[in-house]
Amino acid sequence: MYFSNRGVSAVTDGVTAFLARPEIIATSGRLVWCTFMATLWEIWCSRNKARFQDQGMMAKHIINRTMMSIHAICISFKFQKIPQAWLAALHQTEHGMEELKSRTPTIVRWITPPSGRLKLNVDGAFMKTSGAAGGGGILRDHEGNMCWAFARAYRDLNSSLAAEAMSLNDGLSICCSKGVSEVLVETDSLNLFQLVTNQISSQWDLSCIMHDIAMKTLNLKAEITHVPREANRVADCLASSAMSCTHFVIWSSWGDLPTTVKDPYHLDKVGDPSIRS
């Protein structure tokens, strides 16, 4: 059995022993690994909801959501030759989705732009308690290679939306200064996306920055879209690190990126997916 706990006296020892197993190529082995990681994730999410949202932790709920995640993974990666036992379990999960009354987890990943195109991901961060704010972004090519990235701390802002707008403006400004003539842009801020696409009206305190963004978008032929946060994790890490920056930083090599940014950068490059609950 893959998850046998015989001979294991501590949870950490059991987890370490499982993770130290040689990689299994067969579909059943991949499913076991996916199930293990999905279970840990669902336990973590359930624990956070119990602690911060006063929702009770239920084993049945965790198991159901884990199996729903595996179902989504099988569909996304088109697993072949799935063992009959797994098919039966996943079939039961399909019928149990109505009872769960929650959204089915989906697979989200950063998608490379078409060949010959460039993609700019931007994000902003704001801490209401301290007023600290920052923004960051990264421009990548169709192979996921970094062209440049930036991080900048902002002062005297009063909302996360303002930080998001500032980071978008900075990213577009760098594109202009470096001779980029056309760019795809992604943000995980739905409010910012609705502002730049004129779906909602701009707040008076953002009118100037939104005007600048509109002009740069026109000049760059920038196509701006909204993506889930899980597909914007590099920019998210850059924005978080920006709050402690003492000056406007632009990196031209991935090797110079902050340590916290390198891992998500590599995960995006290899197409590593995230599960969005």
> Consecutive 10-residue runs of the chain (277 residues): their mean pLDDT?
57 70 61 77 82 74 76 63 61 50 68 96 94 96 97 94 97 97 96 94 89 95 95 96 94 94 94 76
Residue 46 DSSP one-character state: H
CB 134 within 8 A of CB 163: yes
CB 220 within 8 A of CB 175: yes
Strands in the chain per DSSP E: 106-108, 119-126, 133-140, 146-154, 184-187, 223-226, 249-251, 274-276
Token digits of residue 9 = 């006296």
pLDDT given at position 90: 58
Residue 246 DSSP one-character state: S
pLDDT given at position 273: 80
**Domain 119-272 of CATH type 3.30.590.20:** no
Cα separations in angstroms, 1 against 6, 18, 32, 43? 10, 11, 10, 22
pLDDT given at position 65: 78
Where do you find CATH 3.30.420.10 in the chain?
119-272
Beta bridge partners of 184: 119, 223
End-to-end CA, the chain: 28
pLDDT given at position 101: 45
